[in-house]
Amino acid sequence: MQKKRKFNLRTVPLYVIFAAAVVFFVIKLVNIQITGTDRYVKTMSLTHEREVTVQSLRGEIYDRNGVCLVKNEYSESLMLDHASLPAAVDEKNEVLARLIGVLRDCGQEITTLMPVRGTYPHIEYDEEALKNVTAKNRLARFLLYHNIRSDVGCLELYEQLLEDFALTDDRGEHIYDTETEDQLIRLRYTLDATDFADDNPYRLLSDIDLITETAVLENGCKGVYVKKEYKRVICVPGVGSNIIGRTGKIPADRVDEFLSRGYPYDAVVGLDGAEAAFEDILRGEDGITVFVEDSYGNVVDSYVKKEPVPGKNVYLTIDIGLQAEAERLLGEQVKKIAAQGRASGIPDNGEKADSGALTVMSSKTGQVLALASYPTYDLSTFSEDYPDLASDPAKPLFDRCLSGTYQPGSTFKLATAVAALMSRKITPDTEIYDSWRYEYYKDYQPTCWRSGGHGLLNLTDAIGASCNYYFYEIGRLTGIETMNKYCTMLGLGEYTGIELPENKGILAGPEYKQSINKVWVPGDTLQAAIGQSDNSFNPLQLSSYISTIVNGGNRYKATVLYKVCNYSGSEEEINGPQILNTAELNEMTIDAVKRGMRRSKELTSTTKYYNYPIGTKTGTAQTSKTNNNAVLVAFAPYNDPEITLSCVIENGASGVNAAAPVLKTISYYFGLDENGNPLPAQNEEN
């Protein structure tokens, strides 16, 4: 039989406490769900959301063979956010002073832009810094913003900013120590001068280390955050710098352009070279991370609002091995010419040679394989080297392959031959007697370069011997209008179509003369026929023009874009050949010009012993009464032209001096020795 439980009075208090707790939590829940909205709205109002751009991976750059030229390397930057800083001036100073102190303890100094040297009161304007137009304009804009007269002295400006930035108290006493005060003024100046705003954060430090990052975050420096970024790394330093180009912050004069395209103020963009030409391909889509902060600046939550999308990888048509070899050979030849010129003791014999260009392109596709400009520079140390590069009289930053224009000299005679043959003024067998002085006009009688003349010549021999007299005559017979019709078809004086900036050059003729308020006379036609007069072209145009002749008349768009791949490499878009126009050339004309270039190769002292079958044409382009540029164009191999080349050496004295780097570049491309013979390992295989 079960015993009946007795009621225990001692448990009553426990039941009462339990019941009270249940009632309390029910009331609390109802309050939260129904009547507590205002309180939570108030709590939420104590936080704010800050959007931070997550930089997308920029596409990488490779050569045609998959050799990486530019890659991304992970780094972190310390950023200052405008919206997160206190609005009150004194509170803002406290936050910034605290940040300066933390960074100082880490051995770091904030990057500032104030053009002032020294510390208060021993300060002065940094005149060297103010030679920079951007720095000068930045100072002027700052003074205008603060309503300070433009001719204010440095000390007076500093004292005015002490007051404007509330760095002194009511009694005029300095609030901070001298070093902190100086850094505060410089930082506040920099923020105002660079349009620091909610949508334009300021980069305090780049590529920070873990110690600095930890110290800043642990000290709760309000308004500061770490931004993960990717910096560009040059994989083959010092090679192809003029082609690859640089990245950097948006130039001041292009801010509106980039902002209209959706770029943030602090975006990194291509500034020149392939980086700029293929900006839309290389650039990805930035992402957005949202940070939720309380009123003390502490991050209480974060979430990804938009995932970043990486840019696409660009493969250039450049063969970086060939590019490196072309640059080396060109530089060696320029130095050799200058040294030999000095040793000869003869004035204006090449001793002034200090620069040049060498280009290589596919005659069947228009793909550019190498663009060597000398002197050149190293992209990996560009910032450190810039002052010396900018002041160097040899202008290493100038791309001579595309922006330099030069008289073609006798290399132009091939175009004159094309025009004369196609207009049926001559045939390949037409013979003309060179008596040295061309006496057709009574008032203008130029001479051939060879004293006594060359005697009786046909076209092949005239090209081979580079006879001026022969080309004076066929130029006169053809006329400047017909000559220029064919020159234009061949691409002379026309853009090559390359994606990089280039100088179009000048095709001599009545139209150009009229544009400079001069009159074209018959003597100008004679000079134009041998590549003088106003003719001036960039070296890549010369390679393109020879390609058009030897490939049968197709003028291909020059290009440095080989293909585009997505970042994972799973998809690719091939940039196929594009024909800009087709020149009206028949087989007889093509054959005649090629035979002439073969004859030129056989007669020229520096090319006659080269055994690989090629065609060449030298040019000695007069730049003054005493100085000449050395010019040479070539194609290889003879029977089935695959590549065309051009070389220009400024003040190179004679066209033959441009031959060595061209021949050695051909040898490198086809795997030959320097004399154009197969290497021993290839003999048996061939």
Residue 445: inside a domain: yes
Structural domain harbouring 395: 320-683
Q: What is the pLDDT of residues 330-359, one digit of tens each?
A: 999 999 999 999 999 998 899 999 999 999
How many other C-beta atoms can be found within 10 angstroms of the C-beta atom of residue 65?
12
Query: Contact at 8 Å (CB) between 420 and 528?
Result: no
Q: In the structure encoding, which two tokens stand for residue 429, read together?
A: 């067998």
Query: For position 636, which CATH number holds?
Result: 3.40.710.10
Residue 132: inside a domain: no
Q: Distance between CA atoms of 671 and 682, rounded to whole angstroms?
A: 9
Integer CA distances (angstroms), 445 to 437, 520, 527, in order: 6, 17, 11
Q: What is the pLDDT of residues 310-325, one digit of tens each?
A: 999 999 999 999 999 9
On the CB side of 137, CA atoms within 13 Å amount to 7
- pTM of the predicted structure, to 2 decimals: 0.81
Q: What is the pLDDT of residues 572-583, one digit of tens each?
A: 899 999 999 999
The parts of the chain modelled with pLDDT lower than 50 are 1-3, 36-44, 686
Integer CA distances (angstroms), 124 to 113, 128, 166, 185, in order: 14, 12, 22, 14
- The owner of tokens 């249940």 is 22
Question: Cβ-count burial of 178 within 10 angstroms (0-12 exposed, 13-18 middle, 19+ buried)?
Answer: exposed
Q: Distance between CA atoms of 79 and 382, rounded to whole angstroms?
A: 24
Query: Which of 575, 616, 556, 230 has its CA nearest to residue 414?
Result: 616
Phi, psi of 521 (to 5 degrees): -120, 160
Residue 13: inside a domain: no
Query: Which of 666, 656, 633 has its CA nearest to residue 491?
Result: 633
Residue 422: inside a domain: yes
How many other C-beta atoms can be found within 10 angstroms of the C-beta atom of residue 4?
5
Q: In the structure encoding, which two tokens stand for residue 263, read together?
A: 């770029």
Phi, psi of 351 (to 5 degrees): -65, -20
Q: In the structure encoding, which two tokens stand for residue 557, read together?
A: 């768009």
Residue 505: inside a domain: yes
Q: In the structure encoding, which two tokens stand for residue 454, read together?
A: 């060359």
Question: With b meaning 16 or more CB within 10 Å and e meaning fewer, what string describes 13-50?
Answer: eeeeeeeeeeeeeeeeeeeeeeeeeeeeeeeeeeeeeb
DSSP state of 357: E
Please tell me the predicted confidence (pLDDT) of residue 226.
Answer: 86
Q: Distance between CA atoms of 571 and 155, rounded to whole angstroms?
A: 61
Q: Distance between CA atoms of 495 and 558, rounded to whole angstroms?
A: 9
Residue 549: inside a domain: yes
Helices within 130-278 (DSSP H only) = 133-145, 154-164, 178-193, 210-218, 241-244, 255-260, 273-277
Where in 363-501 does DSSP place strands (E)?
Answer: 368-374, 432-434, 455-457
Residue 4: alpha-carbon gap to chain centroid: 98
Please tell me the predicted confidence (pLDDT) of residue 513.
Answer: 96
Residue 583: inside a domain: yes
Please tell me the predicted confidence (pLDDT) of residue 257.
Answer: 93
Please tell me the predicted confidence (pLDDT) of residue 206.
Answer: 86
Residue 73: inside a domain: no
Query: Which of 412, 439, 633 has its CA nearest to residue 528?
Result: 412
Domain total of the chain:
1
